[in-house]
Amino acid sequence: MPVAIQVGVESIGDQLLNESLASLAAKTPGLFTTELEGGLIVKQYDFVVHSLKDMPTTLPEGLVLAAITEREDPRDALVLNAKHKGRNGLGGLPSGSVVGTSSVRREAIIKRDFPTLLVKMVRGNVGTRLGKLDNGEYDALILAAAGLTRLDMSDRIASYLDPSTFMYGVGQGALGLECRAEDVETINILQRTANHRPSQLRCEAERSLLRALQGGCQVPLGVHSSVSSSGEIHLRCTVMSPDGSQSIEESHSGTDSVKVGYELSLKLRKRGADKFMTGGEARPLTYGKP
């Protein structure tokens, strides 16, 4: 089947670069997906490709997540200014070094585990961020390893952050293919040609957890997941206060991906995770009227 690619669509998140992602997401759930989803609904596209970590866990009515591609390395990566070449990870940076990130999760972990470092917001595409690093505005950046790999920039990675302590974002490293629920033919094609079952199970568990906790870009929440050869899913999660001074960590395993995420959310709630949810209020479950 021939495929035509349409490019040039910019999301709200791509356009507004002077405000933090947490602030934008609180006002506009789906800030990286809404424009493309509007095109799906009016049949401008047959399916769209998202970074799965940018997709809200509840989609607009009539749309479905049809497939999840094989996941790239989900870990976070440390990129250093040239003057710090050879430093031993984040812990090797001098006190007062400025680390750039747009993620409240990464910021909370840095504040928790590396309190002598300073965190400063950085927005823009990867090239823009690296330019700011190289001109000395930052001493280091934390970026998704998958993004650097896809852009053939893995040579910029000074070290990978260990997910046993520096947990990654929900869905990080995977692509989500979204289409109309009524378009059975496209769903079947995407399932058959693009879906990667182990990645699907891991990401479904992570997204189920996030949905049950009603968290999003505003909540410092990290995960670490795996699938055994027998199909058992293991999921760990840490939920933190924005300043990293408080954190709760739990894990859960099972073979039903959605159930694993949901039951882990109950463990976290039992230990008080609700106090870290934004304002203590439920996150909106619908958004983006086309």
14, 54, 152, 183: the catalytic one is 54
Task: Indicate if 76 belongs to the active site.
Answer: no
SS (H, E, C) 72-97: CCCCEEEEECHHHCCCCCHHHCCCCC
Residue indicated by tokens 């999301």? 11
CA distance 155 to 99: 19
Partners of 226 in the β-ladder: 234
| CA 24 to chain CA mean position, Å | 15
What angle do helix axes 257-270 and 197-213 make, rounded to 10 degrees? 30
Residue 157 half-sphere exposure toward CB, CA atoms < 13 A: 19
Residue 240, classed as helix, strand or coil, is strand
CA distance 48 to 38: 11
Using an 8 Å Cβ cutoff, are 244 and 236 in contact?
Answer: no
E strand spans, 193-279: 221-227, 233-240, 247-254
| CA 158 to chain CA mean position, Å | 21
CA distance readout (Å), 154 to 77, 78, 89, 106, 158: 9, 11, 16, 20, 9
Residue indicated by tokens 């840490």? 238
Q: Which residues are catalytic?
A: 54
